[in-house]
Every structure is written in structure tokens, then in C-alpha cells.
A and B are shown apart, each in its own frame.
Chain A
Amino acid sequence: MSVPALQVDNVSKDFGRIIALRSVNLSVNPGEFVSILGRNGAGKTTLLNIISGVSRPSEGSVLLFGTDPSDHDNKAKLAVISHEMFLYGNLTAVENLEYYAKIYELADATQRIQEVLNDVELTHRRFDLVSTYSRGMTQRLTIARALLHQPALLLLDEPFTGLDQHAIGMLISLLKSQKELGRTIILTTHDLHTAQELSDRYVVIAKHRIVKDGVMAETSPDVLRSEFFSAIGGEDDS
């Protein structure tokens, strides 16, 4: 039996008196696409921060590919896409990507940079400063930055926020191609339709716990919607 790409065991996280996560258990197999659904403040981003090794759980443990998330080998296999761009406005697209290529020790940096810029249709603006880009273009470059080192695990924290329809379509198409390449993908979103289109599995977080873990292929859009709203229905924002 293969090692899970992600194993979250009994993870809780609190920030002083504020509880962010309570006894979360989650196992994700390599190549699986899992959507984490939940309202704002449910703990989705905190869970992704713990999975990525940026934040430590108050209780419980997390393993990525069988080892600690903060291991350098694991970090090299990981990419995060969120509302934060992880880009420098005062550098061009190519300079930003060259910087990350050096950090991730890419052997074929120039070729990879060309490929990812081509994938996100930004080749024509590659020598322009990122500060001159529109929001949609910047988010496309963020996607290029994340895919540059061909990560085995992609963590996406509400990546569709603020994107125009063209960029959303491009991101969905890129995620589908990443899934076909066998990458493990974990997506947090409010958008049930997109989750349904992309995911193999879904989990619903409410009141800082996982309250539902289901297989997308066995769930119709109506059932997903009713399960989601019944799960979060009684939730307050505390």
C-alpha cells in the first residue's frame, strides 16, 4: 500500500483562546484531488498552513509523503496558491521566476520558465514589471510561479477569488492538466460548482471540524449543495 500524500491525525490548533481547528483527521492519497469546503473562519486556511508546514498544530500530527511537512524534501514537492501573490512588483515576470528557479534549484530553468509563461499566456509580457500587471495577469503569474518546480502536491487556498472569467477558465484547465499528470491537489473554496467539476473527494469543515467527507462521483450537485448547507447551517462565526 502506497504512503498517503497527506496524513492529518487528530490536529487541533488554537491561537490563545481562539480555536481554529478541533481534532481534524484527513488522509489524501497520491494523485487525489480533494476540495475542502466551508464558510469563512471555519479553519480551512489554518489547515492549509499546517499542511504546508508554515504553522505548527497545537495538538496532533501531520505527515506529507510519510515525513514531517517542514522537511526540505517535502517543501520542494509543495506549492501554494492563495490570494497572496508571492511575487515582487518591482521585478519582471522572468526575474520573479528566475528567482524561484534558483531557490528550487531547477536545472532547466530557462526552458521551464518559457513553458509556464506559455501555459498562462504571459509570454508577451514577460519582460514587464509585475506592478504593471492587472489583477488577473498577476494571478496567472502566481500560478506559473507555483507550477514552475512541478510540485507533487498543490495547495490552493481560494485561488479563484478576484479572478475574471478568462483567468478562472485558465486556472480550471491548468488544474485539470495537473490532475492528469498525477499531482495531488487540495483546494479550499466556497464554489461548489467548481469543486464538483474538479474534485475526486470533498470534505466540509464547520465549527472547526471536518463534518463530512464524501466521494464527488457519488454525489449529485443537489446532494452536495444540501449536504454543504446542512453542515454549515448552524455555524456561527465564533
Chain B
Amino acid sequence: MMRAALAILKKDLRMEFRSKESILAMWIFSLLIFVIFNFTFEVSRLVMLEIAPGLLWVAFVFSGMFGLNQSFALEKENGNLRAMALMPVDGGQIYVGKFLSVTLIMLMFEALIFPIFIIFYDLQLSLEMLKLIPVILAGTIGFTSLGTILSAVAVHTRNQQILLSMLLWPLVSPIIIWSVTLTGMVVSGEVTPAFYPLLLRVGAFDVIFFTLSYMLFDFILED
């Protein structure tokens, strides 16, 4: 049933591994953010612990924007977006394929940049840190589920990057803010009872964004 989605995913990952265009650019951009903030502000470890979660998500989402723009720019090239509209498959399948590829590429980049973040901000590794896995997963899925459909909308315009930012930020802000809060709890070792309900809220937004995007993607592909 999801053969088209898997074909799109395989094609996107194959192209990304061949060029490494997105992951490399995202990684370098995030590294710059960490370096600049780390050497610009001389603050105590306590203050650093407070700002580090925000910096991590700034790196994730700004780099993620690059990945989103890149994902549909590739489809626009040579008319492939039109080819997708001509395919004998639901728009939802195309959405799932693009969503999975953007999400996997972003998660791979996050896995590569996270150790750098730990080193730069001198964070202590502990089992408690494993709680960051569902936080990063939920925050990233929320960002990419909405970002994928809005990127498909924006790619039809001349100012693709500006439009994507204008459409995405207001809608995805709650997810990012909650993800920063959750990351802060884990990094500072103060996971309160509010952690799980908040994580659940991010997950609920993920489900809503994903379902709506899946249902609406057919309309995006039409002229």
C-alpha cells in the first residue's frame, strides 16, 4: 500500500547519500551556531545549562529549514513535482515518502551534531539523557510533518525560502517551545511530573499535523 512512499524514500536517501548535500550543510551550519555561541558568551555553567536547550533547537530547526527547502527544490528541478502529480498514487503516499525522507535525514543530522553539542556545552552523560530521545523524536516529527507540506506549497513560489519561514514558524512554534522546555528538564536533570504530559502534548500535535497534511497533500500537487 505504501510502495510509492517507500520508493520516494529510497530515491531521496540514495540521492542524499550520494551528494551529502543536505546533511553536510546542516551539520556545518549547526557547528557554526555552537562555536559562535560558545565563544561569544562567557557565562557560568548554570546559565549555559539554561540556554543550551534553546541553542540545540535553534541549530535543529534552522538546519532543518535547509533540509526542507532542499527536499522540494530537488523535485521542482526537471519538473519532477509535476511527475508526482501524474503518478497513479494518492497524494498522501507522496507526502509520507517525502516526510519520511526529510525526517530521517534530519534525525541523522541530529545524531551527528548531538555529540558536538555535548562536548561544547560540557554536559554530563547519564542514563537520564536517554529521555532526550523521545523529546527529539517528537519535536523533529512535529517540525517535519508540518514543514513537508508547507515546503510543497512554498516550492511553487519564487520566494520559496521566505514563504516557508513565514508559513512554518507561527504554526510550529508551540512544538519547538515545548521541545526546548522538555530538553531543558532533561539537560538540567530536573525532570518534573510535568514532563510526560508535555511530551504527550507534542506527540498529539504531531499526530494532528501529520494527519491533516496526509489528507490535504492531493490538493497541493494540483496546478
Q: Which A residues lie at the B interface, using CB under 8 A?
A: 49, 52-56, 72-76, 78, 80, 82, 84-91, 95, 99, 102-105
In the complex, which residue of chain B has the Cβ closest to the Cβ of A95?
A: B14
Contact of A91 among B6, B11, B82 (CB under 8 A): B11
* Chain A residues, CB < 8 A from B86: 52-54, 75, 78, 80
A99 touching B11, Cβ below 8 Å: yes
A72 touching B78, Cβ below 8 Å: no
Chain A nearest CB, measured from B205 CB (Å)? 31
In the complex, which residue of chain B has the Cβ closest to the Cβ of A155?
A: B86
The yes or no answer to B88 lying at the interface (CB within 8 A) is yes
On whether A103 and B4 interact (CB within 8 A), knowing A76-B88, A84-B78, A88-B15, the answer reads: yes
* Chain B residues, CB < 8 A from A89: 77-78
B14 touching A91, Cβ below 8 Å: yes
CA of A55 to CA of B74, assembled, Å = 22
Q: Which B residues lie at the A interface, using CB under 8 A?
A: 3-4, 6-7, 10-11, 14-15, 18-19, 74, 77-80, 82-83, 85-90, 222-223
In this complex, the member of B6, B19, B74, B89 whose beta carbon has the largest number of chain A beta carbons within 10 angstroms is: B89
B3 touching A86, Cβ below 8 Å: no
* Chain B residues, CB < 8 A from A73: 88
CA of A95 to CA of B82, assembled, Å = 19
17 cross-chain CB contacts under 8 A? A53-B85, A72-B90, A75-B86, A76-B88, A78-B86, A84-B78, A84-B82, A88-B11, A88-B78, A88-B80, A89-B78, A99-B11, A103-B87, A103-B88, A104-B87, A104-B88, A105-B3
CA of A80 to CA of B14, assembled, Å = 25
B89 touching A103, Cβ below 8 Å: yes
B87 touching A75, Cβ below 8 Å: yes
Q: A91-B11, A91-B14 are in contact. List 13 more A-B contacts (CB 8 A).
A: A49-B223, A72-B89, A75-B86, A80-B86, A84-B78, A84-B79, A84-B82, A87-B78, A89-B78, A99-B10, A103-B3, A103-B7, A103-B89
* Chain B residues, CB < 8 A from A49: 223
Interchain residue pairs A-B with the least CB separation, the first 10: A84-B79, A75-B88, A86-B83, A102-B7, A76-B88, A55-B223, A85-B78, A72-B88, A90-B15, A54-B85
